[in-house]
Structure 1
Amino acid sequence: MTCPRTFSIMILHQELILLIGTSLLAREIFASTSCFSKHQISMYYFCNLTEIPLVPSDTVKFLLSFNNIKQVNANSFPLLEQLLLLEIGLQFTHSVTIGKAAFENLPNLQVLDLGANRHLYLDPDAFVSLSNLTVLRLFGNALGDYILQDNYFQDLISLEDLDLSSNRITSLRPHPLFYNLKSLKRVNLKYNWIQILCEGNLDSFQGKTSLIFSLNSNHLYYSSSVDWAKCGNPLRNINLDTLDVGSNGWHVDIVQNFSTAVEGTSITFLKLDHHIMGAGFGFVNIKDPDNSTFAGLARSGLRLLDISQGFIFSLNPGVFQKLTDLEWLNLYNNKINQIQKGAFFGLGKLNFLNLSYNLLGELYDFTFGGLHNVAIIDLQKNHIGAIRENSFKDLLRLKMVNLRDNAIKIIPSLPTLTTAYLGENKLVSVRYRTIAAMYLDLEKNRLENLGDLYILSQIPDIQYIFLKQNRFSYCVKPDNVMANSQLIYLDLGENMIKLVWDRNLCLDVFWELSKLQVLHLNNNYLTTLPQDIFRGLASLNRLNLASNLLFYLSPGVFPESLKNLNISGNQLLSPDPGVFMTLSILDITHNRYFCDCTLSNLLLWLNTTNTTLAGSQDDIYCVHPPAFAGVPLSLLLFDGCNEDEILKPLQFAVFIFTSVVLVMFITAVIVFIHLRGTCFVWYKKIKRILVDDLRQAPDASAYIYDAYLCYSRKDFEWVQNSLLKHLDSQYSDKNRFTLCFEERDFLPGEDHISNIRDAIWNSRKTICIVTRQFLKDGWCVEALNFAQSRYFCDLKDVLIVVVVGSLSQYQLMKYKPVRVFMQRSRYMRWPEDHQDIGWFLNNLSHQILTEKKVKKKSNVMELQSIATIS
């Protein structure tokens, strides 16, 4: 456990660090700001001043902190009769000296701040002539006992507030002339070194009333051995409004001895916070307060007692029984785990009890016995899981109980309340108990059944229900629901009500809430609103639907009484402005507006409506199309959108025409697919008629044959029927080509390889009919090699490959001559459908007549197609 002195020093250091940090931050803020005097205020922060500057005579406030002023004397200030506030705190020098009559030219000064100067040297007559001064701040000035023992404050007859905190005062014996400071109401001696205070030390304060006196964090009575009987009552004949002796490390014995010593002294508010009374959790050798600890305060008229932030583990019987006038008791942040029977006996006038941030686990029927007048009990941040049925039964004047952040699973009986805080517990259902609250907080629990709302809304006189951050996802409507609701405020935000309404459950949950004025349904994943969901809400004025997934609002979904609607953060694309006509305040920011002509009505309404739009106009922006993404609606114009009405007849005509053309085109495509062979025949006939049956004959001067047909002998019959009869001129006069093939044109007795070579070199093109038999025939493969050699010799693409049958590309690539060809040229495949043969033969004829020269450029072969049809 940290000793009180260390604890006090830690707090002092934290405050000094905060002060220094604040000054450094202020330096950054004001460094770039010129020092000025205007509007009767003279501001000179961080101006590197070493002397008091001249300011206008009508100055009312004069601020000189954060400079380098070392000395202030009688000649430092001109006559400033209107000056009321002077601040010369925290100078960046080692010391500041205040000379004799330094402020005599400031006769009406009311507030003087000299605080946070590291070493302040005061002349005994420094404050003469300041008869109107009411506030004097001398905190953090390293002042010693002399500041009180000498007559520094003799002329301060109007002084009300004296701050001497964070100095080096060790003994409290004020000068007798302190008695003349009749107006003094507050003396702050916090963070000094006063270790003992006995009778007679404060005689100069006798006769003063309503005095606020702070001796917080002084280590008072902690380390010194005190003879309490000899020390006497240090507060005799002093009437204290507030006495702050907290953070002095007082245990039970010191508190008891002090209470006995000051017996009979009038104290309205006693602060004993940050004490070390109590066993804590496990220190059984340290005493908790008992019925004698505060007994000495019985005749003090104590009305407020603060014993927060300590180690009290058990409230023993009658511990406060002598404090019969107590109205306010603060036990916040102790280690209270047990409240013994009769712990609050004698506190018949207590109005407020704070037991928050303790270790209570259960409330019994006797826990609050004796608190007949209590109105407010704060029990938040304990570990309360069980509450007996009659725990609050006899508290007839109880109006508010705070049970937030505990472990309650069942709503307790709360018969006389107006306000009940039960948020952040473990409630899973609402069992109807005796509750008479007007304000009921059930936020952050585990409620899942939306049907509980029917029960809660029938609590007599209920007006406010908070159900935010529960788990509403299904609904079982209870029987015998009666219309008896006075509800005016309902918060159902951050639940999962979408799951309820998507199954058409409890769609009448709001129908009987005729007096409801405010409804929160934000963050409920809603995509649509059932059409009659708000039926019966005749008084609804404000509705919050923010952060849902709504993309459409149907007309008439909101009640006519609605004036304030928050629908920000949804998925609205092009909302109908007619939905918003009755509203006075509307928030439609951060939606997903589709900025085309369908949004023109909303844009027109936004530009003409008197409805107040919440949020920034820049937050109402387009999301689609991408060209308008992020553009605020306020910058858009839709002047051309009215042309749609004019163009409607034309649009209809275009639609009909397009539909007819599309149907005809699809019909033609279907007919062509099924009769494409016939169509090709007719195409050829029409072409012959139109061009007078003129044929283009190949140039015979250069080659003997138009093409050499290379195939396997086993395929001759198929080649003859499929190609020769349709292409070779000797088979039919209608054919245009002179073809060379082995069975007719090879010279008998001639070497076969010579015949192949002659056929290739005397023909314009070589056509290889590649079948499975072709790939097995060595002569055919050799002919393919010869044809490719001519390709590289003449730089002409003279080879045409026609693949017949079900040969795959993988099977073709296994043969090197074919693979070499396929790497530089495309092959033709014999059609499987009979009606495509005519088209194929026409294409093959075109290939025979087309001469493709190969141009060598930068060692890369490029094909340049030059059509030369003889």
Structure 2
Amino acid sequence: MLYHLIFLLGTILGAKEIFAFTSCYMHGRIAQYYYCNLTEVPLVPNDTIIFWLSFNKIRQVNASSFPLLVQLHTLEIGTQFVFPVIIGKAAFRNLPNLQTLDLGDNKILHLDPDAFVGLSHLQTLRLYYNQLEESILEKDYLRDLLSLEYLDLSGNQIKSLRPHRLFYRLKYLQIIDLKNNFISTLCEGDLDSFQGKPFLLFILNSNQLYQRITMDWAKCGNPLKNIVPGTLDLGGNGWTVDIMQHFCTAVNGTPIEFLKFTHHIMGRGFGFNNLRDPDKDTFAGLARSGLRLLDISHGFIFSLNPCVFQSLGDLELLNLHHNKINQIQKQAFIGLGNLKFLNLSHNLLGELYNDPFEGLHSVLQIDLQQNHIGQIAGNPFRNLRGLQLVDLRDNAIKTLPSFPAMNILRLSDNRLISLGNQNISATYLDLERNRLTNLGDLYFLLQAPDVQFIFLRQNRLSLCDKSINIIENNQLVYLDLGENMLKLVWDRSLCLDVFWALSKLQVLHLNNNYLTTLPQDIFHGLTSLNRLNLASNQLSHLPPGVFPESLKTLNMSENQLLSPAPEVFMTLSVLDITHNRFFCDCTLTTLTMWLNQTNVTLAGSENDTYCLLPPVFTKVPLSSVALHGCNEDELQKPLQFSLFIFTSVTLIMFLTAIVIFNHFRGTCFVWYKTIAGALMKDHKHAISTSACKYDAYLCYSNRDFEWVQNSLLKHLDSQYSEKNRFTLCFEERDFLPGEDHIINIRDAIWNSRKTICIVTRQFLKDGWCVEAFNFAQSRYFSDLKDVLIMVVVGSLSQYQLMKYKPIRVFVQRSQYMQWPEDHQDVDWFLHNISHQILKEKKVNKKFNVLEMQTISTIS
């Protein structure tokens, strides 16, 4: 079929030259010569293993056509555009190890009786659609194919089936395909050469078998005598009930594992009565065949009569799809105690009453999709205790019936308006494309503790009337609420707690719900949420902290985002913000900077994330937008001209003073300290040492010690200089050798009045430093004092700091200090940090409870 499609495509496009250019090549040890207009076999390297020569004009193959190719195992030479194609004597003698030979679809193929001489290793031979006649089987063409496993003779002109006695020697033959021939009869003795062979697959599909002549079945006997066909395909022969019954009787006792009778004409259909439906005698002849799989699909069976399958006690799969079944009579499935899979899809069932599946004690799956079932009454599934799957998709069910506990229940594409009070217990529940309007039904569905997957896409959820709450111990991990109208629910402040008890939910779909805003704390409780789909809504703003910290994948495509804050996306690994309505002005600067620096994987191409306004930037990708002047005075609102004139003189006067002060501010600060010291020398504050051993613990990365010593210790620590007033604690001097490092850190923090964390790039990479920061912050809640001083050194951005949870919590609560870049500001900074060490700042006891929980979680 692949070859036919390639040829058809080439014909439609008129592109044979293209095929010739692209399909004629050697790739490694594979030679491909499709559509190359070859008239004879080309030369290829002697180590070639695969040789494709289909779709050419090679008219003849003989003993000299191929060089010696000892390693070749696959040869295709089918679908030549000339006919007849002649295969001469010993044509493949130079291919001694050939395993697969494809000569199919050559329209007319002439074979020399010795064409296949020497192919003792051949396993697969394809001779389909070559107008071959029955002589290919009745003569000894295949005598040397001792390893043959698969023989394809479909689509030829074979009229009878009496194989040559040489087939006794083909011990490995497992698959014979004879579909689409003209074999009209098959009686006992015709297949004697196949006796004793355990065929995996014997295909006699579409031969009009037993149709064109009047059969004497008593004289014909058993056509499968002493043959063991694993799978016997007799479909497409258009059998009536009478032919089916006669054949089953004739093969009585023959072991068959899988029997296919597809495309039959059994049954009276819908609207005519000239043919009859199968009855209890139709398959009676198969009682001793050990049949496990039966396919009688694509027919006209209208009614499943009582006891119709009672003789098939070993049956495990019954396929009845694409018939015209409208009635299931009482006890229709009696005798099928071992049946596990029942397919009744694509029929005309309109209702299920009483006990239509009586006798199916072991059934696992029932497929009833695409019928016309509108009424289900009497609890038809009540006795099916082992049932794992019921497929009722694409029916007309309005009221939910009762089901036993199972794994999968499919009810999509029905007409359900409400779930009523039925107790549903299923792991996988599909209710897509119904007419449900009440979001309160979800609360009801989640009363079942085992449900893990719920699909409610494309319903009409627009109101919420709940009578119960969702149970806390539910196991839901996947919830699809896409393509509903949840905006109408949440705009009225209804069911805002719908997700609060879903602590195990990992995937949530809320796309296409007309959402313009997200209610506050709507995702509260989703502590395991990993993937969230909010695509195709109308969201223009995302409040900070709206998403759970566990979220890794977010789809915000096709919304109306104008200028979202990048802090909202901090925890993500994958983000889709394509096809939004970005307004590319200076307010979008932080987002564009973040997009260029972040490690988050951005879905879609750069051209899908573009500006909509202003018009000058329409459809320009965000990565290409240059926003100039966003850090200058253009960001401020322009002053009126009269106010500018009035203030200009004043600004010039102050500007001169500021320039002078800025240039000599270090000297000014020294004068200030000298004067202040002289005035207040009798009023210096004494440092209280009654409570703590140290004034401050200095926490920093070991790699920063030299800088810390020169910049801080020499100017603050009393042991470095007598004029310094503080007793500081730091690792290199004060930690006890041999003591556990974490204990040293803890003792240093609790024995010091303050903890000073010198946050540098090395600090953020040092796990001990981050842990010490966390310990110091926990003391904030223990002593109810602000005991932590954070000093940032170097060019660390806000985004880099916010990646670390302890630091993020501190920054949201307090201000940190930045080491000055200008050397003349160092004295002022040291004075300020000295003041912070001495300062006692109490903490309000009514601090945010959520903040305390966050710190506790980090600790």
Q: Same fold (TM over 0.5)?
A: yes
Match of 2:370 in 1: 381
Q: Deviations over 1:454-488 (max 9, x none)?
A: 11111230010000000011111214654342111
* Map of 1:21 onto structure 2: 8
Mapping for residues 371-520 of structure 1, pairs under 5 Å: 371-479=360-468, 482-520=471-509
Q: Following TM superposition, by how much is the alpha carbon of 1:656 offset from its aligned partner in structure 2, in angstroms?
A: 6.2
Q: Contact 1:518/1:541 (CA < 8 Å) preserved in 2?
A: yes
Q: What is residue 580 of structure 2 aligned with on the other side? A: 591
CA distance in 1, matches of 2:36, 2:6: 19
Q: Distance in 2 between matches of 1:527 and 1:417?
A: 38
Give the AA of the match of 1:223.
R
The Cα of 1:365 is off from its aligned counterpart by 2.3
Alignment of 1:178 with 2:162, yes or no, is no
Residue equivalent to 2:758: none
Unaligned runs of 5+ in 1: 1-13, 663-870
C-alpha spacing 1:23/1:201, structure 2 compared with 1 (3 Å): farther
Partners of 1:88 and 1:138 in 2: CA distance: 11
Match in the other structure for 2:560:
571
Q: Among the aligned pairs, what percent are the same residue?
A: 66
Cα pair distance change 1:659/1:455, threshold 3 Å: farther
Unaligned runs of 5+ in 2: 647-859
CA contact (8 A) 2:83 2:109 kept: no
Q: Is the 8 A contact 1:417 1:435 kept in 2?
A: no
Pair 1:529 & 2:518 matched: yes
Q: Which residue in 1 is equivalent to 2:270?
A: 281
Show the counterpart of 1:111. Answer: 100
8 Å contact kept, 2:371–2:395: yes
Q: 1:655 and 2:639 equivalent?
A: yes
Q: CA deviation at 1:659?
A: 6.2
Correspondence for 1:666: none
Per-residue CA shift, 1:537-578, capped at 9, x if unaligned?
111110000011111111111111111100101111111111
Shift of 1:23: 6.2
C-alpha displacement of 1:443: 0.4
Residue correspondence of structure 1 range 305-344 to structure 2 within 5 A: 305-344=294-333
- Deviation string 1:60-105 (CA, Å, 9 cap, x unpaired) is 1111111111000000000111111111111111210000110010
Q: Which residue of 1 aligns with 2:338?
A: 349
Task: State the one-letter code of the partner of 1:493.
Answer: G
1:125 alignment counterpart: 114
Whole-angstrom distance in 2 between the partners of 1:34 and 1:251: 49
Return the alpha-carbon distance in structure 2 between the equivalents of residues 366 and 401 of structure 1: 15
Deviation sequence 1:167-207 (CA, Å, 0-9, x none): 00000011101111111111000100000000111111111
Structure 1: distance between partners of 2:140 and 2:97: 21
Following superposition, the deviation at residue 324 of structure 1 comes to 0.5
Residue 266 of structure 1 deviates from its aligned partner by 0.9
What SS class does the counterpart of residue 44 from structure 2 fall into?
A: coil
Cα-to-partner distance string for 1:644-703 (whole Å, 9 max, x where unaligned): 5xx77xx47x526566899xxxxxxxxxxxxxxxxxxxxxxxxxxxxxxxxxxxxxxxxx
Of 62, 69, 83, the residue aligned with 2:72 is 83
Q: How many Å separate the matches in 2 of 1:658 and 1:115?
A: 94
Matched, 1:245 2:245: no
1:268 aligns with 2:257: yes
Relative to structure 1, is the Cα distance of residues 157 and 639 closer, same or farther in structure 2, using a 3 angstrom cutoff? farther
Counterpart CA distance in 2 for 1:130 and 1:274 is 38
Q: 1:69 to 1:571 in 2, by over 3 A?
A: same
Distance 1:531 1:659 in 2: 43
Query: Aligned equivalents of 2:461 and 2:438: distance in 1?
Result: 6
Structure 2 residue 622 is the aligned partner of structure 1 residue 633: yes
Give CA deviations for 1:317-347 in whole Å, capped at 9, x if unaligned: 1100000000000000100000001000000
Give 1:223 shift: 1.4
Q: Distance in 1 between matches of 2:265 and 2:185?
A: 18
SS of the equivalent of 1:256 reads helix
Distance 1:616 1:70 in 2: 51
C-alpha RMSD over aligned residues: 2.0
2:673 matched to which residue of 1?
none
State yes or no: 1:621 paired with 2:605: no
Question: 1:44 deviation in Å?
Answer: 1.1
For the residue of structure 2 that corresponds to 1:293, the secondary structure is: coil
Count of aligned positions? 645
Secondary structure of 2:550 counterpart? coil
- Write the distance in 2 (CA, Å) between the matches of 1:512 and 1:143: 70
- Decide whether aligned partners of structure 1 residues 658 and 64 sit closer, same or farther in structure 2, where only a CA change above 3 A counts: farther
TM superposition shift of 1:32: 3.8
Determine the structure 1 residue equivalent to 2:347: 358
Deviations 1:259-285 (A, max 9, x none): 001111111110000000000012223
Structure 1 residues 658, 282: CA separation in 2 closer, same or farther (over 3 Å shift)?
farther
8 A contact 1:458–1:483 mirrored in 2: no
Going from structure 1 to structure 2, the CA distance change for 1:658 and 1:85 (only over 3 Å counts) comes to farther
Write the distance in 2 (CA, Å) between the matches of 1:23 and 1:116: 17
Q: Distance in 2 between matches of 1:15 and 1:574?
A: 51
Q: What SS does the corresponding residue of 1:213 show, helix, strand or coil?
A: strand
* Cα shift at 1:621: 1.1
Partner-residue secondary structure (3-state), 1:599:
helix
Q: 1:611 aligns with which of 570, 582, 600?
A: 600
Alpha-carbon spacing, 1:308–1:23, altered in 2? closer, same or farther (3 Å): farther
Residues 445 and 487 from structure 1, CA distance in 2 versus in 1: closer, same or farther, beyond 3 angstroms?
same
Is 1:293–2:282 an aligned residue pair?
Answer: yes
Kept in 2: contact 1:37–1:56 (CA 8 A):
no
Provide the secondary structure at the position in 2 that maps to 1:267. Answer: coil
Map 1:664-813 onto structure 2 (within 5 A): none
Amino acid at match of 1:24: T
Report the CA distance between 1:21 and its aligned residue. 2.5
Residues of 2 paired with 1:148 and 1:620: CA distance?
66
Contact 1:84–1:109 (CA under 8 A) maintained in structure 2: yes
Residue 219 of structure 1: aligned partner: 208
Aligned-pair CA distance for 1:17:
8.1
Per mean C-alpha deviation after superposition, the further-off stretch among 384-393 and 535-544 is 384-393
Write out per-residue CA displacement over residues 389-441 of structure 1, whole angstroms, 9 at most, x where no aligned residue: 32000001000000011111111111121100001111001113132101000
- The answer (yes or no) to whether the contact 1:142–1:168 under 8 Å persists in 2 is yes
Partner of 1:188: 177
Q: Does 1:234 align with 2:223?
A: yes
Q: Is the 8 A contact 2:379 2:403 kept in 1?
A: no
Give the corresponding residue for 2:691.
none
Distance 1:617 1:305 in 2: 54
CA separation of 1:328 and 1:98: change in aligned 2, threshold 3 A: same
Offset at residue 24 of structure 1 (A): 3.0
Q: Distance in 2 between matches of 1:175 and 1:350?
A: 40
Counterparts of 1:103 and 1:346, CA distance in 2: 55
Going from structure 1 to structure 2, the CA distance change for 1:434 and 1:28 (only over 3 Å counts) comes to farther
Deviation at 1:366, TM superposition (A): 1.6
Please give the alpha-carbon distance, in whole angstroms, between the structure 2 residues aligned to 1:600 and 1:436: 51
Question: SS state of the match for residue 438, structure 1?
Answer: strand
**What secondary structure sits across from 1:254 in the alignment?**
helix
- Per the alignment, residue 724 of structure 2 pairs with none
